[in-house]
Amino acid sequence: MAATRKAKAAKKRPAVTDREPRHRQRLGLLLTAATAVVLGAGYLAAPREHAPLPAVARYALTTSLPDWKLLEPVNEVVYGSRGFDTFGETFLLLAAVVSVIVLTRPREARRGYFGEHTAGEREQQEIDPVQAADAEERQTRAADERELEGDGHPQRYPDDPDAEPLGIHGPERAESLTVVTRTAIRLAAPVLAVTGCYLVAWGYSPGGGFPGGAVLLGVLLLAYAGFGRRRIARVVRPAPLETAEMAGALLIIGTELLGLLLKGSFSANWLPLTEPGTIRSGGIVQLFSVGEFIEVGTGLSIAVFALLGVRRDWTREQHGDGQESDGSGEGGGSS
């Protein structure tokens, strides 16, 4: 009977093959074909070169140059005719950044009255003395680090992997990448930074504050990936980034409100227009773009680095040097 049950169980188990099993091939092919049909229909229905312009496009072309001194109608639509919509979209990003900060905030220091914190620690030692054995916990953690290091000395993370021999086994512990990658980042980062500023400054080329802010985030991520967190710690901190973000938001609000106060319409132009092809052509369009560049660049940086530095928990840990942290191993802010 036992042999019969084993034989039946073996028949129920899937056979081991050298190829990955295929699931729902027909459904996948059907969805792929449907997507191809939709894309093909959209391509065929798209207006051709000599097709008449839609009313919105015609309005942008006839308004951009005479009214805003902008040679690029896209910027006129985004920051001029539809400036109020862009205003709302930018502050939706601000709301998303605030939500990320709330969800990833570090453990907050708890303040009590009349020695409540000290009394709580004393009670914790009486209830769970093992948890309060900080010295023994530090010794155990140090032994684990020495075992992982393998050389009998406390673990020390190198700044870069250039001095480490090739072909060694074990995880890479250096904060920065190889010299080839670091050199490539040094060459690419300034070019990207200048390109982002160019997208914001020159209103007669497609661009604006939103793509410029995304480029700024890309530069910071390149530096973070190539050189490690410590190299950008002075720049990527909660206090300066949040201050800059609020400054960008206030610049946008002030730019739009001055149009209401001086010209009687929210987002109306109140700056003098210069010749087309110059930085100041477009009036408040350029000023709005600069404010959005600051808001988007700092906001995205806050959100991304807050997620990168999210805490494992809100419990306090003791490190080997006696310093306390909140479980993340960094002891700094969330960004």
Taking a C-beta distance cutoff of 8 angstroms, is the pair 227, 175 a contact? yes
Q: Which amino acid makes up residue 235? A: V
What span, in angstroms and rounded, lies between the C-alpha atoms of 59 and 67?
A: 11
Q: Which amino acid makes up residue 274? A: T
Q: Residue 51: what pLDDT?
A: 80
Helix segments in the chain, DSSP class H: 2-12, 25-45, 55-68, 73-76, 83-104, 116-127, 134-149, 179-201, 209-227, 238-263, 284-308
What span, in angstroms and rounded, lies between the C-alpha atoms of 215 and 192?
A: 7
Q: Dump the DSSP string for 305-328.
A: HHHHT--S-S--EE-TTS-EESSS
Q: Which amino acid makes up residue 185? A: I
Taking a C-beta distance cutoff of 8 angstroms, is the pair 86, 256 a contact? no
- Cβ contacts of residue 143 below 8 Å, gap of 6+? none
Q: Residue 35: what pLDDT?
A: 95
Q: Where are the domains of the chain?
A: 73-104+177-325
| CA atoms 259, 241, 195, 218: torsion sign | negative
SS3 133: coil
**Angle subtended by helix axes 209-227 and 179-201, to nearest 10:** 170
Q: Residue 127: what pLDDT?
A: 72
Task: Determine which helix (DSSP H) or strand (DSSP E) holds 155, and give its type and residue range.
Answer: none
Q: Residue 329: what pLDDT?
A: 42
Residue 329, sorted as left (phi over 0), alpha (psi -120 to 50) or beta, turns out to be left
Q: Which of 51, 92, 57 is nearest to 77 (CA)?
A: 57
Q: Residue 275: what pLDDT?
A: 85
The partner residues of 325 in beta bridges, in order of sequence, read 317
What span, in angstroms and rounded, lies between the C-alpha atoms of 335 and 333?
A: 5
Strands 317-318 and 324-325: antiparallel
Residue 280 per-residue DSSP state: T
Taking a C-beta distance cutoff of 8 angstroms, is the pair 269, 277 a contact? no
Instruction: Return per-residue pLDDT of the chain as tens, 335 residues.
Output: 656 666 666 566 655 556 667 778 889 999 999 999 999 999 888 877 788 877 877 888 888 888 888 888 888 888 888 888 888 888 888 899 888 888 887 665 555 444 555 666 677 677 766 554 565 565 665 655 554 444 444 445 666 666 666 666 656 666 677 788 888 999 999 999 998 888 888 766 667 888 899 999 999 999 988 888 888 887 888 888 989 999 999 999 999 999 889 988 888 889 888 888 788 888 888 889 899 999 999 999 999 988 887 754 444 444 444 444 444 444 444 33
Q: Which of 265, 334, 325 is nearest to 302 (CA)?
A: 334
Q: Which of 80, 73, 75 is nearest to 58 (CA)?
A: 73
Block residue for tokens 């997620």: 307
Block residue for tokens 């980062």: 189
Instruction: Give whole-number Cα distances, 75 to 166, 248, 250, 291, in Å.
Output: 52, 19, 21, 14
Block residue for tokens 């709301």: 95
SS3 141: helix
